[in-house]
Chains A and B, each alone.
Chain A
Amino acid sequence: MSTLSAIDEHNDHHDHKPKGMMRWILTTNHKDIGTMYLIFSFLMFLIGGAMAMIIRAELYQPGLQIVEPNFFNQMTTVHGLIMVFGAVMPAFTGLANWLIPMMIGAPDMALPRMNNWSFWILPMAFAILLSSLFMEGGGPNFGWTFYAPLSTTYAPDSTALFVFSIHIMGISSILGAINVVVTIINMRAPGMSYMKMPLFVWTWLITAFLLIAVMPVLAATVTMVLTDKYFGTSFFAAAGGGDPVLFQHIFWFFGHPEVYIMILPSFGIISAIVPAFSRKKLFGYSSMVYATASIALLSFVVWAHHMFTTGMPVAAELFFMYCTMLISVPTGVKVFNWVATMWRGSLTFETPMLFAIAFIVLFTIGGFSGLMLAITPADFQYHDTYFVVAHFHYVLVTGAIFSIMAAAYYWLPKWTGNMYNESLGKLHFWASLISVNVLFFPMHFLGLAGMPRRVPDYALQFADFNQLVSIGGFAFGLSQLIFLVVVIKCARGGEKAPAKPWEGAEGLEWDMPSPAPYHSHTTPPVIK
Chain B
Amino acid sequence: MSDEKKSRDASTGAALKSKNSVLMAKLFSAIVLMFGFGYALVPLYDVLCEVTGINGRLVNDNREASTAVDESRMVRLQFTTSVAPGMPWQFKPKVNYVDVHPGENTVVYFKATNQSNLAVTGQAVPSVSPGIASLYLNKTECFCFEQQILNSGESVDMGLVFFISPEIPQDIRTLTLSYTLFNVTQPISKPSGDLQAAL
Residue of A nearest to B55 (CB): A245
Q: Which of A160, A224, A229, A523 meets B8, CB within 8 Å?
A: A523
CB-CB under 8 A from B190, the residues of chain A are: 232
Instruction: Indicate if A185 sits at the interface (CB-CB under 8 A).
Output: yes
User: Using a CB-CB cutoff of 8 Å, which residues 189-247 of chain A contact chain B?
Assistant: 189, 212-221, 224, 229-232, 234-235, 238-241, 243, 245-246
CB A489 to nearest CB in B, in angstroms, measures: 37
Residue of A nearest to B183 (CB): A239
CB-CB under 8 A from B16, the residues of chain A are: 186-187
A215→B31 CA distance, assembly (Å): 8
- Report yes or no: B84 in contact with A239, Cβ–Cβ below 8 A: yes
A441→B164 CA distance, assembly (Å): 52
User: Using a CB-CB cutoff of 8 Å, which residues 131-171 of chain A contact chain B?
Assistant: 135, 152-153, 155, 157-161
- Report yes or no: B194 in contact with A182, Cβ–Cβ below 8 A: no
Known: A155-B193, A157-B193, A524-B8. 6 other contacts (CB 8 A): A157-B194, A157-B197, A161-B199, A231-B189, A239-B182, A523-B8
Answer whether A221 and B38 are a contact pair too, CB < 8 Å, given A524-B7, A524-B11: yes
User: Using a CB-CB cutoff of 8 Å, which residues 153-199 of chain B contact chain A?
Assistant: 180, 182, 184, 187-195, 197-199
- Report yes or no: B4 in contact with A523, Cβ–Cβ below 8 A: yes
CB A510 to nearest CB in B, in angstroms, measures: 21
Q: Which of B32, B35, B54 meets A217, CB within 8 Å?
A: B35
Instruction: Indicate if A316 sits at the interface (CB-CB under 8 A).
Output: yes
- Report yes or no: A230 in contact with B38, Cβ–Cβ below 8 A: no
A316→B52 CA distance, assembly (Å): 10
A250→B34 CA distance, assembly (Å): 12
Answer whether A216 and B35 are a contact pair too, CB < 8 Å, given A158-B198, A160-B198, A231-B191: yes
A523→B9 CA distance, assembly (Å): 9
A253→B19 CA distance, assembly (Å): 32
Instruction: Indicate if B106 sits at the interface (CB-CB under 8 A).
Output: no
CB B185 to nearest CB in A, in angstroms, measures: 12
A121→B182 CA distance, assembly (Å): 42
Instruction: Indicate if A20 sits at the interface (CB-CB under 8 A).
Output: no
CB B169 to nearest CB in A, in angstroms, measures: 13
Instruction: Indicate if B95 sits at the interface (CB-CB under 8 A).
Output: no
Q: Which of B7, B19, B131, B199 meets A311, CB within 8 Å?
A: B131
Q: What are 18 A-B pairs with beta-carbon distances under 8 A?
A: A107-B12, A157-B193, A160-B193, A178-B28, A178-B31, A182-B24, A186-B16, A186-B20, A215-B31, A217-B38, A230-B193, A231-B191, A232-B188, A239-B84, A239-B184, A246-B41, A249-B45, A313-B53
- Report yes or no: A238 in contact with B193, Cβ–Cβ below 8 A: no
- Total A-B residue contacts, Cβ distance less than 8 Å: 136
- Report yes or no: B30 in contact with A111, Cβ–Cβ below 8 A: no
CB B20 to nearest CB in A, in angstroms, measures: 5
A231→B28 CA distance, assembly (Å): 28
Q: Which of B20, B38, B187 meets A182, CB within 8 Å?
A: B20
A495→B10 CA distance, assembly (Å): 39
Instruction: Indicate if A181 sits at the interface (CB-CB under 8 A).
Output: yes
Instruction: Indicate if A7 sits at the interface (CB-CB under 8 A).
Output: yes
Answer whether A178 and B27 are a contact pair too, CB < 8 Å, given A230-B195, A313-B131: yes
Q: Which of A158, A212, A224, A253 meets B27, CB within 8 Å?
A: A212
CB A39 to nearest CB in B, in angstroms, measures: 28
CB B34 to nearest CB in A, in angstroms, measures: 4
A213→B33 CA distance, assembly (Å): 9
Q: Which of B8, B31, B54, B180 meets A238, CB within 8 Å?
A: B180
Instruction: Indicate if A174 sits at the interface (CB-CB under 8 A).
Output: yes
A86→B28 CA distance, assembly (Å): 24
Residue of A nearest to B11 (CB): A524
- Report yes or no: A229 in contact with B192, Cβ–Cβ below 8 A: yes
A243→B12 CA distance, assembly (Å): 52
CB A310 to nearest CB in B, in angstroms, measures: 8
A-side residues, CB < 8 A to B, are 7, 106-107, 110-111, 135, 152-153, 155, 157-161, 174, 178, 181-182, 185-187, 189, 212-221, 224, 229-232, 234-235, 238-241, 243, 245-246, 249-250, 253-254, 311-313, 316, 522-524
Residue of A nearest to B19 (CB): A186
CB A250 to nearest CB in B, in angstroms, measures: 5
Interface of B is mostly: helix
CB-CB under 8 A from A214, the residues of chain B are: 34
- Report yes or no: A234 in contact with B188, Cβ–Cβ below 8 A: yes
CB-CB under 8 A from A253, the residues of chain B are: 38, 41
Answer whether A239 and B123 are a contact pair too, CB < 8 Å, given A220-B35, A313-B132: yes
- Report yes or no: B54 in contact with A174, Cβ–Cβ below 8 A: no
Interface of A is mostly: helix
A157→B187 CA distance, assembly (Å): 21
CB-CB under 8 A from B7, the residues of chain A are: 523-524
Answer whether A212 and B31 are a contact pair too, CB < 8 Å, given A157-B193, A160-B195, A229-B192: yes
Q: Which of B188, B192, B198 meets A161, CB within 8 Å?
A: B198
Answer whether A174 and B31 are a contact pair too, CB < 8 Å, given A220-B39, A249-B45: yes
B32-48 Cβ-contact flags toward A at 8 Å (1 or 0): 10110111011001000
CB B81 to nearest CB in A, in angstroms, measures: 14
A327→B190 CA distance, assembly (Å): 45
CB-CB under 8 A from A161, the residues of chain B are: 198-199
Answer whether A216 and B198 are a contact pair too, CB < 8 Å, given A110-B20, A249-B45: no
- Report yes or no: A219 in contact with B52, Cβ–Cβ below 8 A: no
CB-CB under 8 A from B37, the residues of chain A are: 216-217, 220
- Report yes or no: B27 in contact with A235, Cβ–Cβ below 8 A: no
A107→B7 CA distance, assembly (Å): 13
A413→B82 CA distance, assembly (Å): 66
CB A293 to nearest CB in B, in angstroms, measures: 17
A135→B190 CA distance, assembly (Å): 24
A232→B24 CA distance, assembly (Å): 36
- Report yes or no: B19 in contact with A246, Cβ–Cβ below 8 A: no
Instruction: Indicate if B139 sits at the interface (CB-CB under 8 A).
Output: no
- Report yes or no: B8 in contact with A316, Cβ–Cβ below 8 A: no
Q: Which of B4, B12, B130, B188 meets A239, CB within 8 Å?
A: B188
A106→B11 CA distance, assembly (Å): 9
CB-CB under 8 A from A182, the residues of chain B are: 20, 23-24, 27
CB A112 to nearest CB in B, in angstroms, measures: 11
Residue of A nearest to B3 (CB): A523
Instruction: Indicate if B57 sits at the interface (CB-CB under 8 A).
Output: yes
